A = this chain, B = another copy of it.
Amino acid sequence: MTQKPSKETIQTWARLVRVEQELLEKVEGDLKIAGLPPLVWYDVLLELVREPSGRLRYRDLHAKLLLAKHNLSRLLDRLEADRLVAREAVEDDARGAYVDITEAGRQVQKRIWPVYRRAIAQHFASKLSSMDVQQLDKILNKLRG
């Protein structure tokens, strides 16, 4: 049995959805103003940069990102068209594909980060005390899948 949430809880839910949407719009806006690609490009590039080998199998990249398989496939088409990643065959599993970050991809990731960090600072960090951040983190952990 699940109880009906209280008015306050519903209000907070609504606020969460809206505030998060506002925040993401502001951050995406800052990236756009700087002439940079959207956050989701950064997410992919970051996962690849984190790998010492600079590559991940498609399925592993997919597992890390909250993105449907076909969406990732199309996103990689665009990244590849911009030469930020390259797809390579997997030697011992002919079904598989590696996704490799290119040198250009690494440079774009590096250019995005300071702008993204600045946006996080302005729109998020600067509004909260470190106590707030701690509390929020605890709450988010309770909500996690």
Does A10 belong to the interface (CB within 8 Å)?
yes
Q: Which residues of B are found within 8 Å of A83, using beta-carbon distances?
A: none
Q: Provide the bound-state CA to CA distance between A135 and B134, in Å.
A: 11
Count of interface residues, chain A, beta-carbon cutoff 8 Å: 49
CB contacts under 8 Å to B, within A47-94, are 66
Assess the B120–A9 pair: CB atoms within 8 A: yes
Assess the A139–B128 pair: CB atoms within 8 A: yes
Q: How many copies does the complex hold?
A: 2
Chain A interface SS verdict (over half) = helix
Does A104 belong to the interface (CB within 8 Å)?
no
Known contacts A66-B21, A137-B15: does B125 contact A9 (CB below 8 Å)? yes
Per-residue CB contact flags for chain A residues 111-128 toward chain B (1 = under 8 Å, else 0) read 000000110111111111
Assess the A133–B2 pair: CB atoms within 8 A: no
Closest B residue to A134 using CB positions = B8
Does A19 belong to the interface (CB within 8 Å)?
yes
